[in-house]
Structure 1
C-alpha cells in the first residue's frame, strides 16, 4: 500500500491512531470516548511499505555528546602526536578555539570474534561486541546542543517538527492499545525538553509520554473512590458531553487527543502497573542491570523498564541518560573540562545497564526484532579545550546499533587518522533516520504528512538508506 501524496485520516482512524499513545499527561487528565477503538484495534491502520526487520526501537540517548575518540574510535596517530597542533585547518564552524591534539587517556582492545575495538571504559559492553554495529562516520549539521539534539530526534535543527517516535506511531500505530506507543524515560529532563519527543503538527496524541518518577511512572494511576463499573459509566456520560462540545468547534487534534486518551487511561489502570513494575523481575535480572549498585541503579532501572515496555508492544522507548550519578558532578556527556574524571563516571553509570539490556533482550529472543540505538547529538573534538576537556564535534562521530536487522559484529565507516572528519562511508543524521524507518518497514520518502500547504517527512528532502549496515 503506497501512501497518497496528501494523506488524510477519517475521524475514526484518527481516534485509532490516538489510542496508540498519549502525551505528557497524568492519569487524571486522560479519559476516553466510549466509541473509541477497543484494545483489539491496536493493529496498524497504515500498512508497512515492505517487510520489517524490527518491530520496536529502544533509543539510548547520551545527552551532551559522548567522546568518540575515547570510546569507540581509537586513533594511534592522535596518541602519537598528543600535544601537537592539528595538522590541517579546522572548519569555520566552531564554538571555541580549541588547542592542540589530545590523545585518549584510555586504552582500546579488540573484543569478540569481530575484533571490534572498544575503550577500557566500557568493560561490560565490550562483552557484547559481536552484537554491535559501530558506525564511526556519523555527521550532523549543528555544533550546539539545542540544534543538534533537535536534528537527531526530529530531523530538523531549528523548527518544531515531529519526533522520530511520533512518525513511527503515525506510520505503524502501536502493538498494545493499553499502553502508550511512545515512552520517554528521563528522570532529569534534558535542557531541550519536550520538543525532542513532540508530535508537532502530527496528531497531538502521537507525542512521547514522559516518565520522570521511576518509582511512580504514571501519576494518579489508581482510583480509590470509584469502582471500574462506576468509572465506565462516568466516562460514557463525559463522552456524550465532549461530543456535543466538539460538534460546535472546528477540527482540533488536541481536542480529539484529549477525548481519545480517556479510554487509554481507563485501560492503563490494569496494565500499566504491571508493565512498569521492575520490582517484579528476579533478583538475578535486577543484578544484570545493576540495580543492586547505587552507581548503576538509576540508569539500570530505566533500561529494565525499557525492556518491559518493549516486550509489551510499545513501539518506541527512548531512554535519556542525564541524571547525576553517585560518582559524578556532571549531568551530561558534555566534558568541556574534567574529561578524565567525568567521562569514566558517565561510563560507569551506564555500561553495565546497557550490556544487561542487550543480553536480556537476546536471551528472551527479543533482540532479533528490537532495534537498539546508542548515541548522543554529536561527538567531541580530538583537540583539547583547556587542559582536560573536549569541545562539541559534529564533523565525524560514533553511534552504534544492535538487533533488528542490523549487521552484527561490524564497524562501518571511518574518520581521518585524528578523528576529526568522517572520510569513509559518511552517515548523515538523515541517512540514519532513513535506515531506521527502513528497518521498521517504512520507506522514508513515502511516509509523508501534508501541513501548511506542503508535504513533510522525517528526512525532509534528504536521506539515503545505509545498505552497508543491514544484515
Structure 2
C-alpha cells in the first residue's frame, strides 16, 4: 500500500514542487517514481524502511489523534500531590512496618507525613493536595493511575525507561515510535516536538529516534532552564542570507545528485530521511515563525496561562506553545519542567515548583476543552518515578520507582476516574499494577496502534516500544 493511499494526497504544493516531481519521474525511471511517491505523501511517513507499511495504520479506530506529554523531570512526590495516604500522617515519625526495597539510592529514616493538606474535589471526589489548587478544579476530566511502577531508581535509567522503554540500551523514544507509526497531521511541521527538554540524564536519547529513520527524532525548541521567551528552533534558518528560490535550487541539486547515485531499489532509507529533513526544514521556515509568535494571543489568554513575568511565565509559555503546535497538527509534543528532586527542602522546593506549573497546566486543560481539542488530544502528566514515604534527612524524600502516580486527560480516557492503588504508605504499587511497558502499550492503543504490530527490523530482529512485554489497560478507556 502506498503512503499516499494511506494518508491522502498532500495539499498546498507549489508549482516548483510539482515540476520537480515531474522531472524525477521522467529522468531516473523506477527509482525516481519511488522517490516521488515518498515525497507526495505525508512527510513524516516518507522513510522507505517502514516495517509495517502494509499493516494499515492506524490498526483500529483511534480514540486520540495527538499527545501532549507534561513531563516533570526529577520525580514529584506522589505522596504530596495526588496519592493521599492518611496513614502517613497517623504514623508520622514511626519506622516503616515492612522491609524497604533492596534497591535504594540512599538511606532513609522513618515515615514522613505530607506537609500539605489534601482535599476532595469535583463530583469524583478525587483527593488533591494544596500544591495543585488549579489542577484540582479539573479532576472530573482526569484519569489517575496510582499504581505506576518501574525498575530503576537512578534518574538516567528511569528517564530512559519512561521515554524509550529501555533503561540500558539505545532505543527510539515513545514520540519517535508514534511519529514512525502515524506521521504528522501537517506536512509543514515535524510530527514530534520537545519543548525545553533536559539535556542531562540520558540527554538526547530521551527524545531521539535511535535506529528509526532520523526524521522521527524530536525537533527541539529551547532547553531546560533557558528563558522560554527566547526559545527557538536551532539551525532552522540558513547561516547565510539565502532566498527561498536559491534554497529550492539547492534542494533540487541535492535530489539530482542523490538520485544519480541511487541503487536499483531507489535511495537508501537513511538518505531518504535526511533529504526529507532538509525539505521539512525548508517548509518549516514558512510556518513556524507565526506559531512561535505567542504575542498573537490575547491578553486574556496570557493571563489564564500565567504569562506575566512571574513564576508561571516560563511554563505558561511552554503550555501555550504546546496547544498551538498540537492544534496545528504536531502529533506528539513533550513539555518538560524540572527539577523535582527534593532529597532535602521538600516543603520549600515542591511549593516553588508546583506554583510554576499548576496554573499553566490547568489553563492548558481548559483551553483544549474550550476549543474542542481535548476530546482527541491525550494529555499525560508524569515523571520518571515517585518518592519514598520515609524521610531522607529531616525534610526530603528519596527516589522511589516502586510506586508513583500519572494522570491523563482527554483522548478517549475515562473522566473523573482513578485506577490502581499503592500500599497504605505509598511505597509499592499494590493493586492493579501498571508497569511502564503497560502504560506505553495503552498510550499506543489510544492512538489506534497495536503495540505488538508496530515494529522495526534492525540488527536482525524486530523491535517495538514495549519490547516483549506490555499489557493494554483497557479499564482506562471511556
Q: Under a length normalisation based on structure 1, what TM-score does the superposition of the two structures give?
A: 0.88
1:74-119 Cα distance to aligned partner (Å, 9 max, x none):
1111111100000001121212221000000100000111111101
Q: What's 2:247 paired with?
A: 231
2:89 matched to 1:79? yes
| Equivalent of 1:406 in 404, 408, 413 | 413
2:384 matched to 1:368? no
Distance 1:83 1:216, change over 3 A: closer
Moved more, 224-233 or 174-183: 224-233
Q: What does 1:170-319 align with in structure 2 at a 5 Å threshold?
A: 170-186=180-196, 188-212=198-222, 214=228, 215-219=230-234, 221-222=236-237, 225-244=241-260, 253-319=269-335
Q: What's 1:338 paired with?
A: 345
2:128 matched to 1:118? yes
Distance 1:355 1:98, change over 3 A: same
Q: How many residues align?
A: 437
> 2-side partners of 1:55 and 1:418: how far apart?
37
> 2-side partners of 1:269 and 1:114: how far apart?
46
Unpaired segments ≥5 residues, structure 2:
11-19, 25-34, 46-52
Distance 1:226 1:454, change over 3 A: closer
| Equivalent of 2:468 in 429, 454, 461 | 461
Cα RMSD of the aligned pairs, angstroms, is: 2.4
What secondary structure does 2:73 align onto?
Answer: coil
1:111-154 Cα distance to aligned partner (Å, 9 max, x none):
11111110101111111111111111101111111111111001
CA contact (8 A) 2:175 2:207 kept: yes
> 2-side partners of 1:59 and 1:246: how far apart?
39
CA contact (8 A) 1:39 1:178 kept: no
Q: What's 1:131 paired with?
A: 141
CA contact (8 A) 1:184 1:211 kept: yes
CA contact (8 A) 1:166 1:182 kept: yes
CA contact (8 A) 1:56 1:440 kept: yes
> 1-side partners of 2:283 and 2:41: how far apart?
12
CA contact (8 A) 1:134 1:400 kept: yes
2:172 matched to 1:156? no
Distance 1:41 1:459, change over 3 A: closer
> 1-side partners of 2:245 and 2:121: how far apart?
57
How far off is 1:174 after superposition?
1.1
> 2-side partners of 1:189 and 1:220: how far apart?
17
> 1-side partners of 2:378 and 2:165: how far apart?
19
2:443 matched to 1:436? yes
How far off is 1:233 after superposition?
2.3
CA contact (8 A) 2:219 2:233 kept: no
Unpaired segments ≥5 residues, structure 1:
2-9, 20-31, 323-331
CA contact (8 A) 1:242 1:259 kept: no
> 2-side partners of 1:298 and 1:216: how far apart?
10
CA contact (8 A) 1:61 1:375 kept: yes
| Equivalent of 2:60 in 45, 50, 61 | 50
CA contact (8 A) 1:98 1:391 kept: yes
| Equivalent of 1:446 in 453, 463, 466 | 453
1:194-227 Cα distance to aligned partner (Å, 9 max, x none):
0001111111111111111643522354568343
CA contact (8 A) 2:220 2:233 kept: no
Q: What's 1:354 paired with?
A: 361
What secondary structure does 2:61 align onto?
Answer: coil
